[in-house]
A and B are shown apart, each in its own frame.
Chain A
Amino acid sequence: MYETTYHRPGSVAEAAAMLAKAEDGKLLAGGQTLIPTMKQRLASPSDLVDIGALAELRGISVKDGAVVVGAGTRHADVAASADVNGAIAALAALAGGIGDPHVRHMGTLGGSIANNDPAADYPAAVVGLGATVMTSKRSIAGDDFFTGMFETALDDDEIITAVSFPVPEKAGYAKFPNPASRYAMVGVFVSRRANGSVRVAVTGAGPSVFRVPAMEAALAANWSPAALDGLSVPADGLNADIHGSSEYRANLVTVMAKRAVAAAG
């Protein structure tokens, strides 16, 4: 690890100010990606602004038909939350399947979506539920938040404060983990709102989370795994690495989508 200057702000506003002032500052939340990256000397921020202890970023509430999760809330807390389990069980299950217990007790929702790892789980839930990302500056629709591999709509000095997940009628998440890292080789989040609108969001398969309109239309007409028979995403442009070709990932998208629908009931 290279030398860095550590800051511990007392509020989100102070954190934003510190970030704006730093030459090449980084927010530190749970540190489950940033710290290993720094230890490998692949990242060398001039300043670390540690928002991990900010109480105002933590917490879960259910109101007005939405589950609002503070950006600093740990995955383990989301997984164990009775409120989340009652309102959107698929979201709790997704959080409970991230990484390992160590990661889940340190890693945060905000940290995960701000990093936008193409194989992270939470982006699938944000897009798959049509969530809204709330920041120190504004609210951003989930569909507009993830702009590319490891890229988001956030400004350099903008801090995620919470994510509001609308409570759907049905939701399910199915993940096929990478055998080595246990990140999603492919993860598919599906949901159906009371108004009948359907979302199918895929993580792990592409450079960033994406929706599958053909599957959404098929499920809107017939909410069952069988509705996805014969539907697939083109392999072109999907991720390919030593663990899985793009063709294999395309197959997994359909298989996991069906399983997500089955899990949603």
Chain B
Amino acid sequence: MGMEGIGAPVKRKEDRRFITGRGRYTDDIALKDTTFAWFVRSPHAHARIRSIDTSAARAAPGVIDVLTGADLAGDKIGGLICGWMIHSKDGSPMKAGAHPAIAAEVVKHVGDQVAVVIAETRNQARDAAELVEVDYEPLPAIVDPAKSCDAGAPQVHPEAPGNLIYNWGLGDEAAADAALARAARIVKLDVRNNRLVPNAIEPRSAIGSYDPAEEHYTLYNTSQNPHVARLVLSAFVGVAPEHKLRVIAPDVGGGFGSKIFIYPEETVCLWASRRIGGRPVKWTADRSESFLVDAHGRDHVTHAELAFDADNRILGLKVHTIANIGAYMSTFSSSVPTYLYATLLSGQYDIPAIYAEVDAVYTHTAPVDAYRGAGRPEATYVVERLMETAARELGVDPAELRRKNFIRAFPHQTPVIMAYDAGDYEASLDAALKIADYAGFAARKAEARARGKLRGIGFSCYIEACGIAPSQAVGSLGAGVGLWESAEVRVNPVGTVEVLTGCHSHGQGHETTYAQLVNERLGIPIDQISIVHGDTDKVQFGMGTYGSRSGAVGMSAVLKALEKVEAKARKIAAHLMEASEADIVIEGGELKVAGTDKTLPFFQVALAAYTAHNLPAGMEPGLKEGAFYDPTNFTFPAGTYICEVEVDPDTGKTEVCSFVAVDDFGKIINPMIVEGQVHGGVTQGLGQAMLENCVYDMETGQLLTGSFMDYAMPRASDVPSYNVTTTETVCPGNPLGMKGCGEAGAIGSPPALINAITDAIGNNDLSMPATPEAVWRACRAVA
């Protein structure tokens, strides 16, 4: 390991501009003659639009245009799409309703767009938006996903009778039933995975800009995947042809999944710029809009049954889940409660039979889609709540019950698609038990009791599937895209390097970690390496950043391109130093002839490639190579989290006293960045488990948690100082041995906390979020 190579805790290069306020976000970009959009949004969860009168708004100061769903339809702009086809058990395709960028006939959730005002200033647009008169016929709304398929429930889309989008199954139902039938003990659990609002620091923003001379469009957008945005907006929505559309995602202030999706607002900004003759149209969400219309996360209702034999070995698992999709199918919504969820229900355990059934349902709420972890937190919550419940019901130690059922031989084929390639679950468990001083817990509990506090301990042995994903595999499962990644390595004549990647950095630190990979291979200082991303005119194509894929998939593509650069550089060096190509090694920024003192600095080789005065016969000038990398398998980060809490029985207030995270992420590029990812992920998970909750009024569909006054985000004082460490089994599926670390914390931590609280209070009947009142009531129920 060098000072800046793989494994070095290098400070993030990008932080200098971020912490000095010099990040350049979409809303910071001021194009000449920019106009501003403000959306008129539905105050009703469900209503028919009788009429829209825009005349007063049109006459308001500064207003350039007011556009409605009828205008959109008139211009033949298509609806937004869901890019992953799921088939029901009966073989029928999922029943997706129409998703216009501006509703023309019926609004389906509070915040649904019904018109947009374009004006000279943002405030003028907002003022005029209040003058748009929409005559609504309010209709009854369905909000509770568990009731949306009931007879007589209000219908969200005519295309999906009974609000059922799909009834999907995975695994062998007969085998799971047989396991339950012969079980010595069945552990049953009903859990709700609470709905969350993503809350990136930077709200979503878009600038659409049409150039009438070139008939060319540019979109600046808060996007985690600008190329996918360009593909969807051109090929499916039809706003602009793909070769005439440039999408730029500059600095993006957090995504957590919510900026993967292609939303109505950017669609409208692009289209509106053309409608008004080419002046740029900018929209930036205010925080209230972010709460209302960013795609939310989670929202599952699940019943699960886990079968054990008389020796406490797991025989089988059967799960039924209702997944709330919201009012429209967002871009990847269909995949989250299916292939990103049920495929992880085997956890870290050897389970011979698993069957999962998922009903995806429409409700009159904001769309629900991937949010940090996306399906895998929901699976982990089911499995790890079940394991802790089982330990209590079977009267055995929760750590030992897990240990007994761990998968120990790899590769391991689960009954739910996944083939785990490598892992050592016991190593993480043992490390966590030691760090958490499990042996000393009883004494700590007794000491807390003497202070009137209830102390509890909870475990979570999570697994996730990252490195998303092998294209052929996801294609066979219904994905509309391949999930490979591309990279280009451009060596400049002076030997500096630019790496172009299709991944997008919005907090992950790619400008540092990707440069560390180049440093490791070429020995060039990282300040001479630039990472270029987020612009479809610069990077040819890429699939973006989500699913903890930018290391395992994105950097594997960079490595492939680097290997081609190195091969050519070795040829040139061998030619210049009159040596055999096989004897050339690249080390410390030099190309050396092994066993001699002959060396050439890397920059001289680069210069030679561009002057082309003396290259091997037939060689093309230049030193620039590209590569596409398609993963061979998912990667499987896994680990053990142990949480200790103290509950105040008088108020129900929970204090998280300690949190131990032991993760196996495979090979690590930058341990400091990895630790930061775990800190952020665990905090998000603890937030879900005890604070965050997106609540709609069940009758009216009004969002009750529409601001930070009511939506409780975790603060520093809500969480302890974490104890984070890693174990390592090298991932055999990619050349760098990496597994990914971006989501683990959010995936593994919620059940650890709920298991700890329920242990403390002696009542297993507790839902997320474990608010003070919920815990207080659970305490009283067993007092």
Contact = CB atoms under 8 A, between A and B. Distances in A.
B288 interface: yes
B705 interface: yes
Given A180-B708, A181-B709, A255 B651 contact: yes
Contacts of B713: 180
Contacts of A255: 650-651
Contacts of A243: 710, 771, 773
B691 interface: yes
Nearest to B710: A180
Contact of B695 (A176, A242, A248): A242
A40 interface: yes
A181 B710 contact: yes
Contacts of A245: 773
Given A179-B771, A255-B650, A255-B651, A242 B710 contact: yes
Given A242-B704, A244-B773, A252 B709 contact: no
Contacts of B127: 2
Interface string A222-252: 0000000000000000000111110010011
B711 interface: yes
Nearest to B693: A242
B691 A176 contact: no
Interface residues of A, number: 18
B36 interface: no
Nearest to B690: A179
A1 B653 CA distance: 38
Contacts of A244: 772-773
Contacts of B693: 242
Interface string B749-774: 00000000000000000000001110
B776 interface: yes
Interface string B656-700: 000000000000000000000000000000000001010100000
B651 A252 contact: yes
A173 B557 CA distance: 60
A251 B779 CA distance: 13
A175 to B, nearest CB: 11
Contacts, number: 46
Contacts of A248: 652, 772-773, 776-777
A1 B691 CA distance: 30
A181 to B, nearest CB: 4
Interface residues of B, number: 24
A181 B695 contact: no
Interface in B53-82: none
Nearest to A119: B709
**Listed residue (B127, B704, B710, B711) with the most chain A CB atoms within 10 angstroms of its CB:** B710
**Listed residue (A1, A180, A241, A255) with the most chain B CB atoms within 10 angstroms of its CB:** A180
A242 B195 CA distance: 14
Interface of B: 123, 126-127, 288, 650-653, 691, 693, 695, 704-705, 708-713, 771-773, 776-777
A179 B708 CA distance: 10
Contact of A179 (B126, B712, B776): B712
A179 B772 contact: yes
Contacts of A176: 651, 653, 772
10 contacts: A40-B288, A176-B651, A176-B653, A179-B772, A180-B709, A181-B710, A243-B710, A248-B777, A251-B776, A252-B651
Contacts of B652: 248
Contacts of A241: 710
Contact of B691 (A2, A179, A183, A251): A179
A242 B705 contact: yes
Contacts of B773: 243-245, 248
A255 B126 CA distance: 47
Interface string A39-64: 01100000000000000000000000
A104 B711 CA distance: 22
Nearest to A182: B715
A180 B712 contact: yes
**Listed residue (A179, A181, A183) with the most chain B CB atoms within 10 angstroms of its CB:** A179
Nearest to A248: B773
B704 A181 contact: no
Nearest to B691: A179
Q: Which 3 A-B pairs have the closest CB atoms?
A: A180-B712, A179-B712, A248-B773
A176 B771 CA distance: 13
A42 B691 CA distance: 27
A41 B38 CA distance: 14
Nearest to A258: B650
A45 B712 CA distance: 30
Interface in A118-159: none
Contacts of B777: 248
Given A180-B712, A242-B695, 20 more contacts: A1-B123, A40-B288, A41-B126, A176-B772, A179-B772, A180-B705, A180-B708, A180-B709, A180-B711, A180-B713, A181-B710, A241-B710, A242-B693, A242-B710, A243-B771, A243-B773, A248-B776, A251-B776, A252-B651, A255-B650
A80 B652 CA distance: 31
A238 to B, nearest CB: 13
B122 to A, nearest CB: 11
Contacts of A180: 691, 705, 708-713
Contacts of B123: 1
Contacts of B653: 176
A182 to B, nearest CB: 8
Nearest to B769: A179
Contacts of B651: 176, 251-252, 255
B288 to A, nearest CB: 7
Interface in A1-15: 1-2
A180 B711 CA distance: 6
**Listed residue (A1, A41, A243) with the most chain B CB atoms within 10 angstroms of its CB:** A243
**Listed residue (B126, B773, B777) with the most chain A CB atoms within 10 angstroms of its CB:** B773
Contacts of B772: 176, 179, 244, 248
A189 B652 CA distance: 21
A244 B772 CA distance: 8
Nearest to B712: A180
A6 to B, nearest CB: 16
A245 B776 CA distance: 12
A40 B695 CA distance: 20
A12 B777 CA distance: 50
Contacts of B126: 41
Contacts of B691: 179-180
Contacts of B708: 180-181
Contacts of A1: 123
Contacts of B712: 179-180
A256 B266 CA distance: 50
A183 B776 CA distance: 20
Contacts of A252: 651
A180 B691 CA distance: 8
A176 B651 CA distance: 8
A242 to B, nearest CB: 5
**Listed residue (B652, B711, B772) with the most chain A CB atoms within 10 angstroms of its CB:** B772
A1 B712 CA distance: 25
A179 B771 CA distance: 8
A248 B779 CA distance: 13
**Listed residue (B695, B705, B771) with the most chain A CB atoms within 10 angstroms of its CB:** B771
A226 to B, nearest CB: 14
Contacts of B695: 242
A176 B650 CA distance: 11
Contacts of A242: 693, 695, 704-705, 710
